[in-house]
Structure 1
Amino acid sequence: MATDLKDHGTDHNANAAERVESFAETALKLGGKSEDEARRTGAIDMADDQVEQLFAAQYQTINSPAHRAVWDRGVPTDEFLSTPPKTSPEVQKVMDDSIAVVRRHKQAGTLHNEEGKTREEVLQELAAVGYWGLLVGEEYGGSDCSFSSFAAFLARMATLDGTIAGLASIHGCIGAVDPVKTFGNAAQKQEFLPGLADGSRLSAFALTEPCAGSDLTALRTTAVLDGDDYVVNGEKLFISNVVPGRTIGLVCLIDGKPAVLVVELPTEENENFQLKKYGIHALSRLYNRGIIFNSFRVPARNLLTPTRGDGLTIAYHGLNLGRVALCANAAGTMRQMMADMIPWAHFRVTYSEPIAQRELVQRRLGEMAGLIVGCDALVAWCSDLLDRGYRGEMECIIAKIFGSEALKHAAVELYMKTHGGRSFLHGHAFGDNVHDFLAPCIYEGEGEMLGMAFFKSLVKHHGKTYFEPVGKALAAAGIQRPNPLNPMHAMKLAPVAMPYLKWLIGRKLMWGAAPRLPAMPTNLREHAEYASRKLTATALEIDGAMQKFQLKLADRQCRMAELSGRCQDLITILCASMYAARQEDEVVRASADLLCQKLRQKLTGARPSNKYFKQITTLGAQIADGAFPGLDEIPAGEIQQPYEREAE
Structure 2
Amino acid sequence: MTKLTGSPSIIDPDETSKAVREEQGAPTPWQDGTQEKSFAEVALELGGKSAEEARRTGAIDTADDQVESLFAPQYQTVNSPAHRAVWDRGVPVGEFESTQVKIAPEIHAAMDNAIDVVKRHRDAGTTYNDEGKITDQVMQDLADVGYWGLLVDKQYGGSGAPFAAFASFITRMATVDPTIAGLASVHGCIGAVDPVSAFGNDEQKERFLPKLASGERLSAFALTEPCAGSDLTALRTEAVLDGDHYLVTGEKLFITNVKLGRTVGLVCLIDGKPSVLVVDLPQEESEQFRLKDYGLWALKHTYNRGMVFNKFPVPVENLLKPIKGDGLTIAYHGLNLGRVSLCANAAGTMRAMLANMIPWSQYRVTYHQPIAKRELVQRRMGELSGLIVACDALVAWCAELIDKGYRGEMECVVAKIFGSEAQKHAAIELFMKTHGGRSFLHGHLFGDNVHEFLAPCIYEGEGEMLAMAFFKSLVKHHGKKYFEPVGKALAAAGIKKPNPLNPAHIMKLAPVAWPYAKWVIGRRLMFTAAPALPKMPAALRRHADYACQGLQKMALEISSTMSKFQLALADRQCRMEDLSSRCQTLITVLATTLYASRQTNEVLHEAADVFCQNQIAKLEGERATNSYYRQITELGDVIADGGFPGLEEIDAYEIMMPYEKEEPEE
TM-score, normalisation: structure 2:
0.97
Amino acid in the other structure paired with 1:16: A
Q: Deviations over 1:203-244 (max 9, x none)?
A: 000000000000000000000000000000000000000000
Q: Which amino acid aligns with 2:605?
A: R
Other-structure match for 1:211: 227
CA deviation after TM superposition for structure 1 residue 486, in Å = 1.3
Q: Does 1:359 align with 2:364?
A: no
Q: Could you say which residue in structure 2 is the equivalent of 1:560? A: 576
1:294, distance to aligned residue in structure 2 (A)? 0.7
Q: What is the DSSP-based 3-state SS (H/G/I as helix, E as strand, rest coil) of the residue aligned with 1:607? A: coil
Cα contact 1:587–1:628 (8 A) shared by 2: yes
Q: How far off is 1:20 after superposition?
A: 2.4
Tell me which of 230, 242, 245 is aligned to 1:226.
242
Residue 642 of structure 2 is aligned to residue 621 of structure 1: no
Q: CA deviation at 1:472?
A: 0.0
- The reply on whether 1:178 has 2:183 as its aligned counterpart is no
2:615 is matched with which residue: 581, 599, 606?
599
**Which residue of the partner structure matches residue 155 of structure 1?**
171
Structure 1 runs of 4+ aligned residues shifted over 4 Å read: none
Contact 2:12 2:198 in 1 (8 A): no
Segment of structure 1 superposing worse, 264-273 or 5-14: 5-14
The corresponding residue for 1:437 is 453
Kept in 2, the 8 Å contact 1:180–1:192? The answer is yes
Matched residue type, 2:350: M
Describe the superposition over 1:91-139 as per-residue Cα deviations: whole angstroms up to 9, x where unpaired: 0000000000011111222111111111110010000000000000111
Does residue 1:534 correspond to 2:550, yes or no? yes
Bigger mean CA offset, 8-17 vs 88-97: 8-17
Aligned with 2:402 (options 374, 386, 394): 386
Aligned to 1:29: 45
- Provide the C-alpha distance between the structure 2 equivalents of 1:403 and 1:195, rounded to a whole number of angstroms: 32
Q: Residues 489 and 508 of structure 2 are in contact (CA less than 8 Å); yes or no, is this contact kept in structure 1?
A: yes
Match of 2:264 in 1: 248
**1:48-67 map, 5 Å:** 48-67=64-83
Residue identity over aligned pairs, in percent, reads 69
Is residue 136–residue 193 contact of structure 1 (8 Å, CA) maintained in 2?
yes
Indicate the SS of the match to 1:284: coil
Alignment-derived partner of residue 13 in structure 2: 8
Residue 634 to residue 154, structure 1, CA distance change in 2 (3 Å): same
State the partner residue of 2:588.
Answer: 572
2:654 maps to which of 635, 638, 643: 638
Shift of 1:83: 2.0
Give yes or no for the alignment of 1:342 onto 2:358. Answer: yes
Q: Give distance in 2, aligned partners of 1:268 and 1:127.
A: 23
Q: 1:15·1:308 contact (CA, 8 Å) conserved in 2?
A: no
1:219-368 aligned at under 5 Å gives the runs 219-368=235-384
State which of 131, 144, 157 in structure 1 corresponds to 2:147. Answer: 131
Tell me by how many angstroms 1:646 deviates: 1.9
Check whether the contact 2:24–2:321 (CA below 8 A) recurs between aligned residues.
no
Secondary structure at 1:645 match in 2: coil
Aligned counterparts of 1:269 and 1:485: Cα–Cα separation in 2: 71
Aligned residue-pair number: 648
Deviates more, 1:538-547 or 1:1-10: 1-10
Tell me, yes or no, if structure 1 residue 498 matches structure 2 residue 503: no
Q: Secondary structure at the match of 1:531?
A: helix
In 2, distance between residues paired with 1:409 and 1:103?
28
Task: Tell me if the contact between 1:12 and 1:307 (Cα under 8 Å) persists in the aligned partners.
Answer: no
Counterparts of residues 23-102 of structure 1 (less than 5 Å): 23-102=39-118
Query: 2:25, 2:333 → 1: CA distance?
Result: 17
- Note the alpha carbon deviations across 1:418-466, whole angstroms, 9 max, x for none: 0000010100011111000000000000000000000000000000000
TM-score (norm 1): 0.99
Aligned equivalent of 1:548, options 549, 561, 564:
564
Q: Distance in 2 between matches of 1:293 and 1:194?
A: 26
Shift of 1:647: 4.1
**Aligned residues of 1:15 and 1:310 also touching (Cα < 8 A):** no
**What is the CA-CA distance between 1:15 and the residue it aligns to?**
4.7
Q: Is the 8 A contact 1:8 1:307 kept in 2?
A: yes
Which amino acid in the other structure matches residue 155 of structure 1? T
Structure 1 SS opposite 2:221: strand
Q: Which moved more, 1:6-15 or 1:190-199?
A: 6-15
Distance apart, 1:19 and its partner CA: 3.0
Q: Output one character per residue of 1:353-396: Cα deviation in whole Å (capped at 9) or x when no partner.
A: 10000000000000000000000000000000000000000000
Asked if structure 2 preserves the Cα contact closer than 8 Å seen for 1:245 and 1:267, the reply is: yes
Question: Which range is displaced more, 187-196 or 18-27?
Answer: 18-27
The amino acid of 1:589's aligned partner reads H
123-132 or 12-21, which deviates more: 12-21
Aligned partners of 1:15 and 1:309 also within 8 Å: no
Any idea what SS the aligned residue of 2:274 has? strand
Counterpart secondary structure, 1:16: coil
Counterparts of 2:191 and 2:155 in 1: how far apart (Å)? Answer: 20
Aligned partners of 1:55, 1:484: CA distance in 2, in Å? 42
What displacement does 1:252 show?
0.2
Letter in 1 for 2:146: G
CA shift in 2, pair 1:420/1:51, >3 Å: same
Contact 1:370 1:592 in 2 (8 A): yes
> What letter is aligned with 1:265?
L
Alignment check: 8 A CA contact 1:204 1:248 kept? yes
One-letter amino acid matched to 2:239: A
Aligned amino acid, residue 9 of structure 2:
D
Q: Which runs of 5+ in 2 are unaligned?
A: 28-33
Pick from 579, 599, 611: which aligns with 1:583? 599
